[in-house]
Amino acid sequence: MTFVVISGLSGAGKSKAGEFLEDAGFYTVDNMPAALMPRFAELALSNKHGTYERVALVSDIRGGHHFEALFQALDEMRDMGCDVRLLFLEASVPAVIARYKETRRSHPLAEPGETLASAISREIELLKPVRERADYILNSTEFNTTAKLRAALLDMFSDLEDVRPAFSITVQSFGFKHGMPLDADIIMDVRFLPNPFYVQELRLKTGLDEAVVNYLNQFPATVEFQKKMEDMLRFLLPLYEEEGKTTLVICMGCTGGQHRSVALAHDVTKMIESMGYPVTEQHRDINRERK
């Protein structure tokens, strides 16, 4: 059982680090008092369902200025047989000041009339014992995007199996006349293709039927669109994954959501599968009554 205890400077990204580890499969608790950590470890060890196999606990200056309780808790948890790792996040004073100015939150140590820089400097001094005990030290000063913090954390704990959350992709067909999908990241309008609905023998079929697919594939525009779509996906998907996106919804739309969008969504799903990504295929409006 692995416990990552996250501590460090206010404004250095501790809560974000906890969120990223939660996305990677950790059970995360923010601002847990040090005295409760061994009790939580006992609970986790007694659980037989694997719910707490990996735990991230955020503990910082909000829990008090004396860290003997934290060090004692870490030692107790290790004595229980837990793999306990202390991660310390820090950043430069100017970087922390800029983050507090952006969020407009008050520093937990700030006293009336005290400058933000003074409160940060005092916190740095108070946290020196914790920094000295840390197994990992991560400086987030240069992380101008949260994706960089996420990537650094995942690399740091790459020795743990499956620590990187899977990049999950959904390809969905829909009909514009039934409304736009609310959760779409990419929407492709394929109404430029001839509509099989107006071919009598195809009207009651769907884009999953071979006859409809053959009808659409006879048009050069369909073949060209498929090639350009594959090129775009090969370019975009690695960039989305690198940026830290864990889910991507690609929607293909036509008028009714039963012919063109279905056929193209099925093609796109096969493209993504061939690239090695996990993908789910959905057809939102395929079973709606045709009018």
Domain boundaries, the chain: 2-156, 168-283
84 φ/ψ angles, rounded to the nearest 5 degrees: -110, 125
- Per-residue pLDDT tens for 177-228? 999 999 999 999 999 999 999 999 999 999 999 999 999 999 999 999 999 9
pLDDT over 80 (residue 280): yes
pLDDT digits (tens, 9 = 90+) for 132-146: 999 999 999 988 777
pLDDT at res. 242: 77
Token pair belonging to 270? 């096969």
Which residues are CB-neighbours of 242 under 8 A, at least 6 positions away? 147, 151
Q: How much is the average pLDDT of 10-37?
A: 88
Q: What kind of fold does domain 2-156 have according to CATH?
A: Rossmann fold (3.40.50)
Q: Are 281 and 217 in contact (CB under 8 A)?
A: no
pTM for this predicted structure = 0.64
Report the C-alpha gap between 227 and 184 in whole angstroms.
Answer: 22
pLDDT(154) > 80: no
Over residues 86-133, the pLDDT tens digits come to 999 999 999 999 988 887 788 888 888 889 999 999 999 999 999 999
For 239-272, what is each residue's pLDDT tens digit?
888 777 888 999 999 999 999 999 999 999 999 9
